[in-house]
Amino acid sequence: MATLTGKSALVTGASRGIGAAIAQRLAKEGAEVAITYSSSAERAEQLVKGIADSGGRAIAIKADAADQNAVRSAVNATAKEFSKIDILVNNAGVLALGAIANFPVDDFEKALSVNVRSVFTATQETLRHMPDGGRIITIGSVNSDRMPFEGGSIYALTKGAVASFTKGLARDLGARRITVNNIQPGPVDTEANPATGAFADTMLGLMAIKRYGHAEAIAAMVVYLASSEAGYITGASLLIDGGFAA
């Protein structure tokens, strides 16, 4: 029996990579799924079609995570389509690397907008449509715990903010039995960070398990946290990083 039958979910930034794997797995487990995308319309529609062809239900909504009005609109479009939102997965994110001495202010503002503000905005708006017992899951980063190379301070700042927000929000929503958790992946093999990329050897040297992770493993953890079995887990930042932070 599918574990999420009757549930509806919104996954931000899900046209490819980890977000796409999460959307596919949620649908496989029976959830109705809405995904947002910023520019990859064709990929988003292919994902929706693949879910429908497998017997699921999904919609794609264009919404740049840097545009907070677009994020709000996407949440409300999801709620209108599915009548409620049981599961919110804040997946949209941007990598921000560079020396702090000359880090561009515009890049800093974009990192804040996508990695932090959109999490706040999507969460706040979703709570207007989320029944008691819902699930809020954010895809953070192991770099909130460990930043072992130069140039990552801004990225670590944004992911550290998400980890702290998770704890506070868990307290705020405990009375409604809404759980709030933060998944912190290490290096995961995606187009944006391929296991054969120029930086891969450095990453592998920092890990206990000498391979990149797979997006499907992140998706599996999302499904578990979204399930009824995980109702006693909240306020947690959960590493899935091959020992990167060990």
Burial class (CB in 10 A: 0-12, 13-18, 19+), 126: buried
| d(C-alpha 59, C-alpha 148), whole Å | 39
Residue 135 predicted with pLDDT over 90: yes
* Residue 158 vs residues 143, 215, 216: alpha-carbon distances, Å: 10, 21, 24
Residue 193 predicted with pLDDT over 90: no
pLDDT of amino acid 198: 83
| d(C-alpha 246, C-alpha 43), whole Å | 36
Amino acid residing at 223: V
Look at residue 115 and give its three-state secondary structure: helix
Please state the pTM of the whole predicted model.
0.96
| d(C-alpha 210, C-alpha 183), whole Å | 20
Residue 219 predicted with pLDDT over 70: yes
Give the domains, in start order, of the chain with CATH numbers: 8-240 (3.40.50.720)
Burial class (CB in 10 A: 0-12, 13-18, 19+), 198: exposed
pLDDT digits 0-9 by tens, 30-51: 999 999 999 989 999 999 999 9
pLDDT digits 0-9 by tens, 165-177: 999 999 999 999 9
pLDDT of amino acid 234: 98
Look at residue 202 and give its three-state secondary structure: helix
Residue 93 predicted with pLDDT over 90: yes
| d(C-alpha 207, C-alpha 86), whole Å | 35
Name the catalytic one among 155, 212, 224, 232.
Answer: 155
Residue 2 predicted with pLDDT over 80: no
pLDDT of amino acid 1: 57
> Is position 37 annotated as part of the catalytic site?
no
